Amino acid sequence: MRATIAGRVEGGGNFSAAELSNSVEMATRAVISGGRDPDHDLVDRVLGGDREAFASLLTRHQKKVFNFMYRMVGERGVAEDLTQEVFLKVYEALPGFRKAATFSTWLYRIAHNHCLNALKGRGREIAVSALTKEPAHGNPVTAFVDPSASPEERLEQQELQAVVQMKLAELTPEHRAVLVLRDIQGLSYDEIAVTLELEGGTVRSRLHRARMELKEKLRSYLEL
Amino acid sequence: MQCQDIRSQLSAYLEGELGGAPRRVVEDHLRECVRCQGELVLLQRTIALLRGLDELEVPARLADAVEARIAPRKTFGWGRLASWLFFPIHVKLPIQAVALLLVSLGAVYLYRSAPELSQAPQPPVATESAPRGEVVPSTAAGRADRLDRPTRQEAAEKSSGQREPQKERKVPEQEDAAARALRKSAPESAVSAKPAEEAEALRERDIGARVLRKEAPAGATIAAPLQDVMLETSDPARAIVRITEIVSALEGKVEVKEERHLILMIPAKAYSHFLTALKDSGYAVSTPTESPAAPSPEGTVTFSLRLTP
């Protein structure tokens, strides 16, 4: 998948707006499909004292929370700590979960708020760490580069991934969050609005500004 | 439309959110504007780069670490409640023990500071000489309390306004002789004695009551506080001799507490005879009531007799 997208980018971005839109919507529907949130049953079981049910919730959602945190803070270790703290908060706050939204959206809201608080508390440390991080071998992102690519392509992909992460870190947390939620994690506008506690129109305008800002930061790399 | 306006809609255009006329306007402009076409491509590449960032695998230890940090917090429901109540034990139990101790001390303090709480309710003693319907409190404190404050039933009746007139008239009748003596002793003493002497007399009367209570035979109860019978005499010794004679004739007992203070115990039925005999002997006698205090279960009445100059 990554090689395909990279090829398209290098080839001039030859995918249609409809294709992009459909793929994003598919991801969105995957998050909220089914009408009834299957996580609500797990929540009920957790509240009834079933610790295994919480382990199930953790298993189902830890990956997206961890990746959200990683894209927000740019440090794997920090992301891991924050993810742990988010699930501890979720466990404590679970009796107050009223099931008005999906568990996933509620979880994202807790993760987002916790992340912003953490960035305020140790923002300078995280920002400096992310900005100064060299796009060198050992960056976790490089572990997911397409192994079938040639060594030159792999090096380019590794460096480009690292650059994207660096440029993301230069955005404000608010712009970074909306990009991560929409373009990386594939949430719908409605889910993002609930997560960020914003109006739908505000989500759209913020997303546009964030994309345009990141585009300008990546311009020199994108025009190669 | 200007390029800037078109570019502000590129994100929505890529999301497929533009329909109809707005979408045609953007597409018409893009066909003619090379620079805006370039911006659209850059924006597509930016989004593609973001979507192309693969997910990181979660460290295997993350779930275990969360579980380990949650474990001490126990579970929800009763287990959580029990945890909240008792854990950590080395903190919660001492706090609970201290709280229990404070509550206990508070209860004891309240019990001691509130007389009505320290008086165990006792059934009224009905006697053959007591007026019908008379209720005799078992202690002086209870009697005084009863005089000072209406009973709950009386209070309820007063508040409801449904108390019958007959009952209202009966209240003073139900106040026994000793109670009335307590109430009236102040004005009467004010006429004949100084306040200090009155206080002393009350103290002595209390002492006498306690002495008699202590010396009473096992099982005997003092049904009423001592009341003073006043006898005027200039020769206490002679008066005591005469009083002893009369009491002996009535099969009573005399205890000389002081030179002018006697404690007498005589059959209740002989009380009026006793007073008559004293008057017949030439003594001026004043009694707080016409009838004696409520007798004991044995049928005797105990009272205090003071010899005044």
CB contact under 8 A, A208 and B77: no
Evaluate if residue B191 carries a pLDDT over 70. no
Question: Cα–Cα distance between A196 and A185 in angstroms, integer?
Answer: 14
**Strand-pair partners of B127:** none
Mutate to test the interface with A, among B44, B61, B78, B80 (most CBs of A within 10 A): B44
Whole-number pLDDT of residue A4? 32
At residue B291 the predicted structure's pLDDT band, cuts being 50, 70 and 90, is low
Whole-number pLDDT of residue B80? 61
Evaluate if residue B127 carries a pLDDT over 80. no
Positive or negative: CA dihedral B113, B115, B117, B120 = positive
Tokens for A214?
């990141």
Question: Cα–Cα distance between A134 and A166 in angstroms, integer?
Answer: 9
Which residue among A13, A58, A76 sits closest to B45, beta carbon to beta carbon? Answer: A13
Q: With beta carbons under 8 A apart, name residues in chain A contacting B63.
A: 55, 58-59, 62
Could you say which residues of chain A have pLDDT below 50?
Answer: 1-34, 124, 128, 131-132, 134-145
CB contact under 8 A, A9 and B52: yes
Percent of chain B with pLDDT over 90: 17
Whole-number pLDDT of residue B26? 93
Question: Cα–Cα distance between B226 and A38 in angstroms, integer?
Answer: 85
CB contact under 8 A, A55 and B63: yes
Question: Cα–Cα distance between B126 and B294 in angstroms, integer?
Answer: 9
CB contact under 8 A, A204 and B17: yes
Question: Cα–Cα distance between B204 and B296 in angstroms, integer?
Answer: 22
Question: Cα–Cα distance between A6 and A18 in angstroms, integer?
Answer: 19
Question: Cα–Cα distance between B74 and B127 in angstroms, integer?
Answer: 68
Q: Which amino acid is at B147?
A: L
Number of domains in chain A: 1
- Whether cis (ω within 30° of 0) applies to the bond prior to B88 is yes
Evaluate if residue B288 carries a pLDDT over 50. yes
Which residue among B10, B50, B55 sits closest to A183, beta carbon to beta carbon? Answer: B50
Q: With beta carbons under 8 A apart, name residues in chain B contacting A22.
A: 16
> For residue B182, which of B259, B288, B88, B108 has the smallest C-alpha distance?
B288
Is there a contact between B119 and B111 (Cβ–Cβ < 8 Å)?
no
Q: Which of A128-137, A211-220, B68-77, B204-213 has the highest mean pLDDT?
A: A211-220
Q: Which residue has the higher pLDDT, B93 or B132?
A: B93
CB contact under 8 A, B11 and A5: no
Order of all β-strands in the sheet with B253-258: B253-258, B261-267, B300-308, B228-232, B284-286
Which residue among A20, A49, A143 sits closest to B76, beta carbon to beta carbon? Answer: A49
Q: Which residue has the higher pLDDT, A209 or B289?
A: A209
Question: How far from each other are the two terminal CA atoms of chain A, in whole angstroms?
Answer: 21
Is there a contact between B287 and B229 (Cβ–Cβ < 8 Å)?
yes
Q: Give me the DSSP letters along chain A.
A: -HHHHHHHHHTT----HHHHHHHHHHHHHHHHTTSS-HHHHHHHHHHTT-HHHHHHHHHHHHHHHHHHHHHHH--HHHHHHHHHHHHHHHHHHGGG--SSS-HHHHHHHHHHHHHHHHHHHHHHHHHHHHHH----TT-GGGGGS-TTS-HHHHHHHHHHHHHHHHHHHHS-HHHHHHHIIIIIT---HHHHHHHHT--HHHHHHHHHHHHHHHHHHHHHHHT-
CB contact under 8 A, B52 and A212: no
Q: With beta carbons under 8 A apart, name residues in chain A contacting B62.
A: 62, 66, 80, 83-84
Whole-number pLDDT of residue A43? 92
Task: Give the domain extent around A187.
Answer: 2-9+17-222
What distance lies between CA A24 and its chain's CA centroid? 13
Which residue among B11, B41, B48 sits closest to A207, beta carbon to beta carbon? Answer: B11
Q: Could you read off the pLDDT of B130-176 as tens digits, one per residue?
A: 444 444 444 444 344 444 444 444 444 444 444 444 444 444 444 44
Whole-number pLDDT of residue A49? 85
Q: A193-197, B12-16, B195-199: which range is least confident on average?
A: B195-199
CB contact under 8 A, A208 and B76: no
Average pLDDT, chain B: 70
The interface predicted TM-score (ipTM) is 0.76
Give the CATH number, domain containing residue A63.
Answer: 1.10.1740.10
- Domain borders along chain B are 3-51, 132-175, 176-308
CB contact under 8 A, B45 and A222: yes
Q: Scanning the structure block, which residue is given the tokens 């109809």?
A: B20
Whole-number pLDDT of residue B225? 52
CB contact under 8 A, A47 and B49: no
Q: Could you read off the pLDDT of B221-271 as tens digits, one per residue?
A: 444 456 688 888 888 888 898 899 898 888 888 888 888 888 888 888 888
CB contact under 8 A, A208 and B11: yes
> For residue B9, which of A124, B28, A150, B152 has the smallest C-alpha distance?
B28
Burial of B175 (0-12, 13-18, 19+ CB in 10 A): middle
DSSP tag of B254: E
The minimum CA-CA distance between A11 and chain B, rounded to whole Å, is 10
The minimum CA-CA distance between A34 and chain B, rounded to whole Å, is 24
Mutate to test the interface with B, among A58, A65, A217 (most CBs of B within 10 A): A58
Q: With beta carbons under 8 A apart, name residues in chain B contacting A138.
A: none
What distance lies between CA B167 and its chain's CA centroid? 29
